[in-house]
Structure 1
Amino acid sequence: MLRPWKTLFNISFHTDHTLVRQISEVIRNEIIRGRLESGASLPGSRALAQDIGVNRKTVVFAYEALIAEGWLESRHKSGTFIAKNLPLIAETSKPVLKRIVSNFNYIQHDSFDLNDRPLDGNLIVFNEGGPDTRLAPLRELSMAYKRVFQRQGKWRLLGYGSEKGDLKLREMIAVMLARDRGLHADVADICITRGSQMAIYLAAKVLVHPGDVVVVENPGYYAARKLFHEAGAVLKTVDVDKDGINVDALEELCLQTKIKAVYVTPHHQFPTTVMMKAGRRIKLIELSLKYHFAVIEDDYDHEYHFGAGNNLALASNYKAANVIYISSLSKLIAPAIRMGYITGPAAFMKSLVNLRVQIDRQGDAIMEHAIAELMEDGTMARHARKVVAVYKERRDLMEACLLQNFGDQVSFRKPEGGLACWVKFNREMNFPQYMELLKLRGVQVVPPGSFYLNNQPSDYIRLGYGSLNKEELTEGLKVMSCTL
């Protein structure tokens, strides 16, 4: 018999579990461990209640529950004992109960390496090109969110809405696309998603049958490659040069094999930041019609352009019947605000929306409506102008610091837009070792191999400057140059 009972029962009065359940679990676990043997007597309910500081009825209820389960038995005028025929009899007493392992089959998904978040809060992080969350219009967004709840008839937004997303937000996006990107999209063919990543996933699932060939840029966006691969696609790469994806090489590939889709980032190519030239844009669209493949245009940071012109979306071309357009508001507001969208041919979009319903009934209708109001009253446009000016200054500072700290050790093209710079090291680099040394000195960079199929070695690295202020940028690049 274990004594004293006070040390055995660790009862908490500040938990969701009832006292009856806590007492029952202690006795049950001690029996399973073999520390309370069959036939052993338990203290009377009054004595145990006094020992552990609870009401006697609490102990009585616990004993009765264990008797009903077969763990205990009551003997008239003798007391309460551990049952002779226990529900579970262990051959050997073990301090820890062995867990039963699951034995069903399932599909094993490989890990998804996320290179856009810091490994440590104290690091200066050159990410893939994320925005500075310190610039997010939080006050305006919170006020708009609050107004939605205060408005008469707000209850309508609390139920199920359209699986395509809030109607007002889709209307505002349609206006913005027509005004700023030359793309005339039917509101009925726009679907709001939880970020552009979800939009790419949906497009891949609707387009790809196992064995279909999907062409991706090289170097390119690793997350898109993974999504197409998971959908069963056979991936083929086409190189990117100073004018964007090589459409002549793409045409040669079309002559060799049937292509289902081509994924491109024409506005600021990921990761090289180059803009696809007009001639290549036209030829890509013509190839899509001639060889019957879809073009998935990922316009992930259209707002951040610092050059003389603002290239229209690839999907704005009057021949772009096979183009599926994807973009996001997350980089304009903040990554935590998961707000992407996708539009394309009506029949394709109907199928995509039907799939979206299966995995996500609808998005955050309140947040979508709040953002729509900020777009309607001009707040989002003012915010965009403000942050574009800030990021242009940081782009110029990045250029100056690279030249000052690295000199001819690196080569790069000053990006016309976006939030990152594509830098080539003019010497042989051991990047894994270099990255480890940087982390020891408080700087984190994105693994360069992730931009290439099969993580092939590269002399290039993508350095995001958007999320870093002047001091962080200056110090981070100084550390990087001193660590070479």
Structure 2
Amino acid sequence: MNSPVEIPYQSFIKIDRNSNVAIYMQITNQLINAIQRGFLPVGTKLPGTRLLSKFLEVHRNTIVAVYDELFAQGWVESLPNKGTFIIGKNEEKPVDFNDINQINLKNYPKTTGFLFKTSNILDNPFEHSSCQFVFNDGIPDIRLTQIDQHSRIYSSILKRKAHKIGHYNQDGSEFFKKNLSQYLNLSRGLPISIDNLLITRSTEMSIYIVSEILLSKDDTVLIGALSYFSVNMIFQKAGVKIITIPIDNEGINVDEVREICKRQKIRMLYLTPHHHYPTTVTLSAQRRLELLNLANEFGFIILEDDYDYDFHYEKSPILPLASADTNGMVIYIGSFGKSLAPGFRTGFIVAPENLMTEMRKYLGIIDRQGDILMEHVLGEMIAEGEINRYLKKSVKIYQERRDYFIQLIQENLGNFLTFEKPSGGLAIWTEWQIPINLMQLSRNCAQNHLFIPKTLLYQNKELTAMRLGFGDLNFDEMEKSVEIFSKTVKTMVD
């Protein structure tokens, strides 16, 4: 049997002196865990209290308390003039302590002892790379966020408003919902109250809740011929039948929607009308009215995803379909604080009260506690006008980045691809005029330290296109990224 000195107790007993758990209980629990996993087999002699206290750099009385607790729980026995020994049934071969990393890997099960259903539908489509430069599908630049100011508001709320928070509420902060409903009323023409709002963590969570309540297996859902991959995954997981609708420079083809509705029952139409994902085109005003009329006539739900409403440049944004819906056919989802640091962002759903009642039940299961403090911060940013000031400043920067990015693309790649200048958003949609393998292009760019995820690539027999985000690139990063991009393209086509 291993002697006490041979066992590397410091390797599997870690003490957190800032923890609320007493040190003697931390050591006790970790020793029990080591016994259960076979690190300390039956019959192992534990070090004397003085020796173990020296190993772990704690007071001897702490180890005395540890051994008392182990004895009380029945893990050890003390033999007069011999020492303290591990007791209990343990038929496994003693572990070799020469490699503690192998111990940890060896003793935790690699597979479950039961069967379960697996699915590749929700496989993570996102890729990561260590490349110096990255193109994405259009995300804000968190370097523009005034982190210090947001942190001060957060700290201030902890001190000034803690007494108003009370117990957690799965419906979210009433203060935030009140201010957000007013904000959406003024900025997006949505005449809603807090009873029409559900606060979520993200757009994806919002769509998941909606699909769980409103979609059943074999329902039919219409989406754009090119659509957001995460949403498609959620719909596929729900077991629905998906039909794709062509997209042109005015958005989704309404005539095609009408013809399909005449032939079969449609449950839902999913749209990103402000800037269609991924092509960035805006659904025309005429088509918006036609879609609302079709929804009323054929009884299908319109799920309106306004993922980047805050980012518009030349003109005022077109109001959501939900602002003109008088029959309760539109469910509106969006995000708030998208241009802020990740910890200060949230999602929301706008819907009639009867549906909201059911949605709250689901939210209570998957996100019961929420983040009341963060929501208070966002509510205060709205109430004090801080969010408007921040958006005004950041949108100006994003517009300058859009214009410069377009200039660089035009100058360096204008002979190879075409694009339309987007009126908003943080990405441009490019279509290639030459035959080129986009996956190979991505691999070649990665060799030159520019990462282009596969989720940006759209290639089939009829289309070769890419969605290129510019929002999180400053001018210098744009220049270097486009330089690598253009050189790689020219090398491939020469």
TM over 0.5: yes
Counterparts of 1:51 and 1:134, CA distance in 2: 47
Give 3-state SS (helix, strand or coil) of 1:439's partner: helix
1:462–1:22 CA distance, 2 compared to 1 (3 A): closer
Give 3-state SS (helix, strand or coil) of 2:281's partner: coil
Query: Normalised by the size of structure 1, how large is the TM-score?
Result: 0.85
2:146 matched to 1:141? no
Deviation at 1:307, TM superposition (A): 2.7
Counterparts of 1:141 and 1:374, CA distance in 2: 9
Q: Deviations over 1:58-104 (max 9, x none)?
A: 58975995898588784x77x46989x972335x7774666554223
Percent identity reads 28
Question: Who is 1:156 aligned against?
Answer: 164
Deviation at 1:367, TM superposition (A): 1.5
Question: Who is 1:441 aligned against?
Answer: 448
Give 3-state SS (helix, strand or coil) of 1:336's partner: helix
Within a 5 Å distance, the mapping from 1:195-234 to structure 2 comes to 195-234=202-241
Counterparts of 1:284 and 1:72, CA distance in 2: 77
Counterparts of 1:148 and 1:184, CA distance in 2: 29
Matched to 1:224, the amino acid is: V
2:291 matched to 1:289? no
Give 3-state SS (helix, strand or coil) of 2:415's partner: helix
Deviation at 1:50, TM superposition (A): 11
Counterparts of 1:303 and 1:256, CA distance in 2: 38
Candidates 129, 132, 143, aligned match of 2:138: 129
- Structure 1 stretch displaced more, 438-447 or 467-476: 438-447
Deviation at 1:173, TM superposition (A): 2.1
Deviation at 1:259, TM superposition (A): 1.2
For structure 2, the residue ranges without an aligned partner over 5 or more in a row are 17-22, 97-102, 490-494
Counterparts of 1:392 and 1:302, CA distance in 2: 14
Candidates 395, 411, 414, aligned match of 2:421: 414
Deviation at 1:408, TM superposition (A): 1.3
Candidates 348, 352, 368, aligned match of 2:375: 368
Give 3-state SS (helix, strand or coil) of 1:327's partner: strand
Question: Who is 1:464 aligned against?
Answer: 469
Candidates 376, 398, 404, aligned match of 1:391: 398
2:474 matched to 1:474? no
- Structure 1 stretch displaced more, 430-439 or 281-290: 430-439
Counterparts of 1:188 and 1:61, CA distance in 2: 54
Give 3-state SS (helix, strand or coil) of 1:363's partner: coil
1:177–1:104 CA distance, 2 compared to 1 (3 A): same
Q: Deviations over 1:225-281 (max 9, x none)?
A: 111222222222112111101111111221232111111000011110000011111
Query: Normalised by the size of structure 2, how large is the TM-score?
Result: 0.83
Instruction: Indicate conservation of the 8 Å contact 1:118/1:125, yes or no.
Output: no
Matched to 1:136, the amino acid is: T
Counterparts of 1:320 and 1:230, CA distance in 2: 29
Question: Who is 2:20 aligned against?
Answer: none
Within a 5 Å distance, the mapping from 1:235-246 to structure 2 comes to 235-246=242-253
Candidates 103, 113, 134, aligned match of 1:103: 113
- Structure 1 stretch displaced more, 462-471 or 321-330: 321-330
- Structure 1 stretch displaced more, 134-143 or 264-273: 134-143
Counterparts of 1:63 and 1:9, CA distance in 2: 22
Candidates 322, 335, 342, aligned match of 1:328: 335
Counterparts of 1:481 and 1:395, CA distance in 2: 18
Give 3-state SS (helix, strand or coil) of 1:173's partner: helix
1:46–1:372 CA distance, 2 compared to 1 (3 A): closer
Give 3-state SS (helix, strand or coil) of 1:408's partner: coil
Instruction: Indicate conservation of the 8 Å contact 1:221/1:451, yes or no.
Output: no
Matched to 1:471, the amino acid is: D
Counterparts of 2:145 and 2:50, CA distance in 1: 62
Candidates 340, 346, 352, aligned match of 1:345: 352
Greater C-alpha Rg: 1
Deviation at 1:200, TM superposition (A): 1.3
Q: Deviations over 1:362-401 (max 9, x none)?
A: 4211221221121122111111111111111111111100
For structure 1, the residue ranges without an aligned partner over 5 or more in a row are none
* Number of equivalenced pairs: 467
Candidates 297, 305, 308, aligned match of 1:301: 308
Counterparts of 1:347 and 1:60, CA distance in 2: 58
Instruction: Indicate conservation of the 8 Å contact 1:423/1:463, yes or no.
Output: yes
RMSD over aligned Cα, in angstroms? 3.5
